[in-house]
Structure 1
Amino acid sequence: MKINELKGKCKSHLSGFLRGGLVGILVVMQFSVLIGLSFWLRSFTVYFYVILEVLSFLVVIALMNDNRCPSFKIAWICIVLLFPISGHVMFALWGKSTANKRLTNNIRAKIERGNTFFEFNDAILKEIREDYKEIERVSNYMVSEGFPMFKNNSITYYPMGEDTFDAMFDDIRNAKKFILIDFFIVAEGGLWDELHSILLEKIKAGVEVKFLYDDFGAMIRTPKNFSKMLESEGIQVRVFNPIHKYTDKLFMNYRSHQKIVVIDGNIGYTGGMNIADEYANLIERFGVWKDTAVRVFGEAVWGLTVTFLQMWEVASTGEYLDYSIYKPTIEFEANQTFACVISDGPVNNPSNPIENIYKQIIHYANDYLYISTPYLIIEEDMQLALIMAARSGVDVRIITPFIPDKKHVKILTNYNYGVLLANGIKIYEYTPGFIHAKSIINENCGVVGTINMDYRSFYLHYECGVFMSDKKIIGDIKADFTMTLKQCKEVTYAEWKNRPLGLKIYQSVLNIFSTQM
């Protein structure tokens, strides 16, 4: 097995090992306490259990009055009742909607500061209201959530990671003023070596380079002194949510899953890709790795720039940037391609705009609704939105992977098929390998970005995407989706119902804890 592939496998299982190990320790600790009590505190055991039961009852009441989704509350109620000692410890570590109040307020303040650099053009909304009524309501909603709508954009869709990186690296080579880069995963390999070499050349040419990455996403597949090495080369570096600083959130929650590249304020990229060789099919991990992205040239790049700068300040201590120096450096040609950069994160819980934007795209579909996602673990309200669309005559199709990167998530994804298949939604699995693409489109608009169709993306991670309304770009995404269907195996409801009994039982139990996956 290749070294990079082995490291990738280690990374993909690390969170499970860490969380599973700590949970195991907590459970052993619980039974040790119980055994100790039974021997040394026989006369007080009843009182101790009464205290635990009262505490569990209070936690259950608090959860039932929480405004988070039902499946989240059910999972924690089960954990607390099954493990009345260690369950409370686990809830204290991972059951909160945000990392901690002080940190959340600090993040929210920096994001709100960034939002003040947006300008909202009422003329664009007026034009949409008069001539593009099919996107009027979703546009109004995005603006109400602080995401301005832009026009005068040229958007290119890339159906594979290797296509994305070829174009992206060419644009980076041509940078004159600054380069902003943000990825969840950074891994040593051929892709990083090429990007690193280009960045060093741009540093020598006097171009400013800011490089932001998530600590969890990079900690296994980069050297220990990675950030210091880059800083010594003249690259400005920030690490999002360092694991050593927030040990109670050591695992997968509250990560920056965003992927953004901005060149000179004029060109921007986002999509599912990361800086790792499998994303460009330089190595094989799970067969052919299919990922998608968009290149934006136009006014909407400012949305990507602001999102990047917000997260840069979040990852910094006491640093406040001059946003104005990262404005576009050219005038863009007038056109009618509307675009809006959307972003989200746990600071918005329980009101999450990206999830609501997805629901509006589903609700306003009349002809078709096509979704690509590596994970399909959705709440009942999202299931009902998809079912309502299908029952209203919309052609609803979803592509997920045939070869998974996480087996337990694949098992849960398959479990979610049932209610959708039973209501006329068509589901396909990408047989050549792993599809990591994240997109949703109807006949009028769509989103390409970093957002998976699961609880983690909608509630626990910082995400971003580009909402687009343009016949050509939507047509390009649809054409790729249709072409991809030819490489997929359709899943039937009869096939789903006939899965083994043991798998059905395992899925039912696993589904209780779906929000923890």
Structure 2
Amino acid sequence: MSDDKLDIFKDDIKGKIKTNLSGFFRAWLVSLLVILQFLGILFISLWLQSYTVYVYFFLELMSIIIIVVLVNDTRSASYKMAWICIALVLPITGQIMYALWGRADSKKKIEKNVLVKIQHGVNYLKQDESILEELEDTYPRNKRMVNYLISENYPVYKNNQLNYYPMGENVFEAIFKDLSEAKDFILIDFFIVAEGVLWDKMHEILLDRIKNGVKVMFLYDDFGAMLRTPKHFKRMLEAEGFQVRVFNPIHKYTDKLYMNYRSHQKIIVIDGNIGYTGGMNLADEYVNIINRFGKWKDNAVRVIGDAVWGLTVTFLQMWEVCEDGEFLDYEPFRPTMKFEESDVYCSTISDGPANNPNNPIESIYKQMIQYSERYLYITTPYLIIEDDMKDALKIAAKSGIDVRIITPNIPDKKNVKMLTNYNYGELLKYGVKIYEYTPGFIHAKTIINESCGIVGTINMDYRSFYLHYECGLWMSNPEIIQTIKEDLLKTMQESNEITYEEWKNRPVTLKIYQLFLNMFSTLM
């Protein structure tokens, strides 16, 4: 960070964590509605206990039906196995949970509507074929991955300038500077929005831009903001001149628990010329002006160039998903400047549950593992991965690739931390090196090898690969990859390397609890 810090990053500034009672009430109310669904069916089951034989036969029949459906499901093996275990171990509640959370057909109508709007945005994404020829000459090793990106409607762009930010404080200094110079429009999308010092500063800048005629389109996830913003947050912003949309209000689909599907994306676009993405959210802990879980390490990238259009389209797709109405014209959001030529190639990748069972981001991660030749470095706050991803990492390590993963030492979710620790075992056994960030919580989501990398919102867990709408910037350029690598190596020096012997000698009670938790891994 520069010596000339913004006021909010001065040492004497204290952040805050403010929770909102109306948000708690909404969360409680939705939870109550879900619980009532469970209790209602349980009550009926108990009321029929005099017909024990028939009830038992019915439960067995339902379990068999669920197993047959899951075995023939196109979703991942780990997902299917988890639901089979739940349905068998919890014969009543497990079947209710599957009916609410597990069935694919319960969400098809919703997802079809989402896909229509996403496809509308895809129509604005065109691949320049000449770029492919240049990229093949410059970085021939990335040809297969680039072909896959294009097949999934992620065009690859050149003529980009990239800045990598190793901490949240760094990136928000740059964001505030760029926002204050916006001329035409600002697009903002965050998962978490929280009242505090960081939000106050951004709010101040955005109000100033609105007064100067800049259009501000503000999108946030309902679940991510409801506990830390006022009840009428959306109305307040609209009264100030913001255009606001809220992704998936949690009360909307309580019968199907579609509320479990969230938009975890983080995108800022300024005038179509500058774009940001990364792990950061709009809350004071992300820039270390409050201390929640020790030192909070996040990262992000700033891009100026042709690839900003990919971030713009991703934002506008989610903007359209949030409300019904006529399709949006994307053309007014095109870049307003001519970019300098460069051989920095980038592609915005994004997907979500409407894509299931096709999950391109997960496939891209697997390809990055499989195509590594010298090293593969990963940072993730959660490491809850399926067998095929685990096998890919093991094979890479056994093949002589230097595979390293950094996870937090201080967790934000204790049960998820226990599952993350449980997943260390096989990886350590086959040569993967695992580091825990001892200063605190690492929230950065990064994967790099010697030829390309991704910085974005994607965790190495089932929720990111299957349940959340995510995004990231895929990039190919030796200088930017080296910059990220140096940051990760520095982070490893601040971390504790976990050994296989240390993992094997963890307490017996923890081992037993982890075995139980693992059964619910796809739900966490």
Task: Tell whether the structures are fold-level matches, with TM greater than 0.5.
Answer: yes
**Superposed CA offset, 1:224-274 (max 9, x none):** 000000000000000000112122355862100000000000000000000
Whether the 8 Å CA contact 1:368–1:395 is kept in 2: the answer is yes
Partner of 2:177: 170
Alignment pair present for 1:220 and 2:232: no
- Alignment match of 1:73 (pick from 56, 76, 80): 80
Partner of 1:85: 92
Whether the 8 Å CA contact 2:101–2:257 is kept in 1: the answer is no
For 1:137 and 1:9, the matched residues in 2 are separated by 51
**Superposed CA offset, 1:95-133 (max 9, x none):** 134762221111001111100001211111112223311
Whether the 8 Å CA contact 1:97–1:349 is kept in 2: the answer is no
CA distance 1:374–1:252, shift in 2 (3 Å): farther
**Superposed CA offset, 1:329-356 (max 9, x none):** 0110011000000001011111111011
- Alignment match of 2:141 (pick from 104, 119, 134): 134
For 2:92 and 2:385, the matched residues in 1 are separated by 30
Whether the 8 Å CA contact 1:99–1:254 is kept in 2: the answer is no
**Superposed CA offset, 1:457-495 (max 9, x none):** 001100000000011110110010011111100000000
Whether the 8 Å CA contact 1:19–1:251 is kept in 2: the answer is no
Superposed, 1:399-438 pairs within 5 Å as 399-438=406-445
For 2:42 and 2:329, the matched residues in 1 are separated by 55
For 1:288 and 1:247, the matched residues in 2 are separated by 36
Superposed, 1:118-197 pairs within 5 Å as 118-197=125-204
- Alignment match of 1:7 (pick from 5, 19, 31): 19
Superposed, 1:36-115 pairs within 5 Å as 36-38=47-49, 41=50, 44-97=51-104, 100-115=107-122
Give the C-alpha shift of residue 93 in structure 1.
Answer: 1.2
For 1:244 and 1:64, the matched residues in 2 are separated by 32
SS state of the match for residue 100, structure 1?
Answer: helix
Alignment pair present for 1:363 and 2:370: yes
Give the C-alpha shift of residue 374 in structure 1.
Answer: 0.2
SS state of the match for residue 146, structure 1?
Answer: coil
For 2:94 and 2:338, the matched residues in 1 are separated by 57
- Alignment match of 1:265 (pick from 247, 253, 272): 272
Superposed, 1:326-341 pairs within 5 Å as 326-341=333-348
Whether the 8 Å CA contact 2:30–2:250 is kept in 1: the answer is no
- The residue type equivalent to 1:172 in the other structure is L
CA distance 1:485–1:3, shift in 2 (3 Å): closer
Superposed, 1:203-242 pairs within 5 Å as 203-242=210-249
Whether the 8 Å CA contact 2:156–2:345 is kept in 1: the answer is yes
- The residue type equivalent to 1:462 in the other structure is Y
For 2:127 and 2:101, the matched residues in 1 are separated by 38
Unaligned stretches of 5+ in structure 1? Answer: none
Whether the 8 Å CA contact 1:290–1:437 is kept in 2: the answer is yes
- The residue type equivalent to 2:348 in the other structure is V
SS state of the match for residue 388, structure 2?
Answer: helix
- The residue type equivalent to 1:240 in the other structure is F
Whether the 8 Å CA contact 1:71–1:512 is kept in 2: the answer is no
Alignment pair present for 1:254 and 2:266: no
Whether the 8 Å CA contact 2:252–2:259 is kept in 1: the answer is no
Give the C-alpha shift of residue 51 in structure 1.
Answer: 2.0
Q: What is the alpha-carbon root mean square deviation over aligned residues?
A: 2.2
Superposed, 1:365-514 pairs within 5 Å as 365-514=372-521
For 1:461 and 1:220, the matched residues in 2 are separated by 19
Whether the 8 Å CA contact 1:97–1:346 is kept in 2: the answer is no
Whether the 8 Å CA contact 1:189–1:277 is kept in 2: the answer is yes
Give the C-alpha shift of residue 142 in structure 1.
Answer: 0.1
For 2:181 and 2:288, the matched residues in 1 are separated by 25
SS state of the match for residue 230, structure 1?
Answer: helix
SS state of the match for residue 75, structure 1?
Answer: helix
Give the C-alpha shift of residue 52 in structure 1.
Answer: 2.2
Partner of 1:311: 318
For 2:86 and 2:33, the matched residues in 1 are separated by 14
For 1:503 and 1:480, the matched residues in 2 are separated by 33
CA distance 1:269–1:308, shift in 2 (3 Å): same
For 1:375 and 1:316, the matched residues in 2 are separated by 31
- The residue type equivalent to 1:508 in the other structure is L
SS state of the match for residue 7, structure 1?
Answer: coil
Give the C-alpha shift of residue 137 in structure 1.
Answer: 0.6
Give the C-alpha shift of residue 33 in structure 1.
Answer: 4.5
Please give the TM-score of this superposition, normalised by the length of structure 2. 0.93
For 1:304 and 1:101, the matched residues in 2 are separated by 26
Whether the 8 Å CA contact 1:176–1:207 is kept in 2: the answer is yes
Give the C-alpha shift of residue 94 in structure 1.
Answer: 0.8
